[in-house]
Chains A and B, each alone.
Chain A
């Protein structure tokens, strides 16, 4: 049967950033989370009308990639490029490459659809049954498109892998990178996730009747589905000895529901198992958790099941979903919400569960409804994906100055 994992050596998060509907970089996110100012807008993106709200990043259309990277141009890589330029990420990555050697830095990114928006575009503009000339670029019509772009843009030459497990993708990259560093196959890893709006996810989730026509309301009794968003979020992981004061990745847990392709296990079996493993690797119990960045998609089922995990925690543990701010950024959600957890630790910001007016009674004792500030030493982030794919991350504080 399942064995309780051993405690791991924490890793330092030496740089991190996020770009989403809340803006570019950490300062924009901090301000929006503190002011309870969400980024969802009426859908103006899909190629045919669809009544919903979206979390759209401004200015992607006007962004140009450097000429040497132009062969990888597409909406998703433009967003990745914007994201890499925030909060000194490119410089920090270059410094890690210089310090450890390019082949000793790994790259592990999560995405659910990569640049499929460009493939959709090609199908809308077929000429004589073939892709139009400007889209005859095999490197953008494959799910590794994002990671190949970031490898080229950063000069990282270590192992590079795309994890694509739907909405848990960019949480799992933290676990994979930690294992690689633990075994000595890399000294640092750039991890993260990037997903952009595209017809596939807008009409796909609509076909499953999972998209809210109004705007997502996580953990509200009246919740009626997700709002889809786009985001780029990255974190640079190194051994804790490299940066004593940097926040820490303390633990990770992964599991499968073995239940259903598009609905979670009714008792949250997989979610609990991922949580238990993450806490075991961190060497902590649920009592130590100050804040939980919930998956909280605002589908009826997700929130009902995720609420069953909350009684594991004391009621002093604060919890919120930030999907009401950014929308569900799918393959980027794990990394984006890891950044939320890191912001909580470093800045004492406890984001409110935006969009929830009437909280589900079973979640209410833990839910944060108004912006709050308090010291957070340990923060946890939940991510659950299609196919019953679960991941849970635990972050903590670095050594005091």
Chain B
């Protein structure tokens, strides 16, 4: 196996129903506060220009919110930072709309909703809003989306020696598709990752042997977020360890033979 990838997380962003930013979620994950019961909350998408915000679906607003938090906390100008947006299912509400419209009246399909349906809509809106001309990507790996996306971001950062913004977001399912996709609550997390070979690294990642037992992270708040979407559960597990500010390990399934092994040092 190769040497671990060493990174510093200089910025973190998060959004969950009842925890609209990392500051809120952090104290919840530390057990110092209970989540507000606010399942109807929508991400604000404040970083998007007003015209774009009106057109932007929830997944785009969610991604923009967590990405903006992470870059602001890191004090970095997003214009030159490559960004990678992961999602298990993409914009589920739009997929439901597109499929329902196509079944009923295909010529009535909205052009705006069609271009919002691409998995890289969050990357597109984000790069437009922030003037980011660096590489941007949209990735998915079903239940491994968080771990595989994080690996992709870490590899990009270390291979190209550049800070990378990584965000992982899923929105709630809608319509008949919901039975297949089972995501009941929107959740997003973002990390500004800087390659760092020094002792200051906060995350060291490597590929290890597969995890064969089901992933369980005891003590997680927000069961509604974690329970039905493994990528969200994996993101929360990493966030909980970063919030705890103690040395920790985390092992996430990433393929039938591999896990993503992380050493977290606050």
Residues of A within 8 A of B (CB): 1-3, 5, 46-48, 50, 102-103, 112, 116, 119-120, 122-124, 126, 129-131, 136-139, 141-144, 147-148, 151, 157-166, 172, 176, 179-180, 182-185, 199-200, 203-209, 254-262, 269-270, 273, 385-389
Contacts and interface: CB of A to CB of B under 8 A. Distances in A.
Given A159-B207, A161-B139, A176-B152, A103 B255 contact: yes
B142 A142 contact: yes
B216 interface: no
B181 A180 contact: no
- B interface, over-half SS: helix
Interface string B162-183: 1000000000000011011110
Interface of B: 2-3, 5, 79-80, 82, 88-90, 95, 98-100, 102-103, 106-107, 109-111, 114-121, 123-125, 127-128, 130-142, 144-145, 148-149, 151-152, 155-156, 158-160, 162, 176-177, 179-182, 207, 254-258
Most buried by A among B79, B135, B138, B256: B135
B131 A158 contact: no
A261 B51 CA distance: 13
Given A119-B95, A120-B99, A183-B158, A47 B106 contact: yes
Closest 3 CB pairs of A and B: A387-B124, A184-B2, A254-B135
A389 B132 CA distance: 11
A144 to B, nearest CB: 4
B159 A204 contact: no
Given A207-B109, A257-B127, A261-B121, A183 B5 contact: yes
Nearest to B258: A103
18 contacts: A116-B95, A130-B179, A143-B90, A158-B257, A160-B255, A163-B137, A164-B139, A183-B159, A185-B151, A203-B102, A203-B109, A204-B109, A204-B114, A254-B82, A258-B79, A270-B133, A273-B133, A387-B121
Given A162-B141, A203-B109, A387-B123, A182 B132 contact: no
B207 A179 contact: no
A2 B124 contact: no
Nearest to A137: B180
A160 B141 contact: yes
B169 to A, nearest CB: 14
Contacts of B155: 176, 179-180, 183, 185
Given A207-B110, A258-B133, 8 more contacts: A102-B257, A120-B103, A123-B99, A123-B103, A136-B179, A200-B99, A204-B117, A259-B128
Nearest to A198: B102
B115 A208 contact: yes
B139 to A, nearest CB: 5
A5 B156 CA distance: 13
Contacts of A130: 176, 179
Contacts of A262: 111, 115
A179 B137 CA distance: 14
Most buried by B among A47, A139, A199: A199
B176 A131 contact: yes
Most buried by B among A165, A172, A206: A165
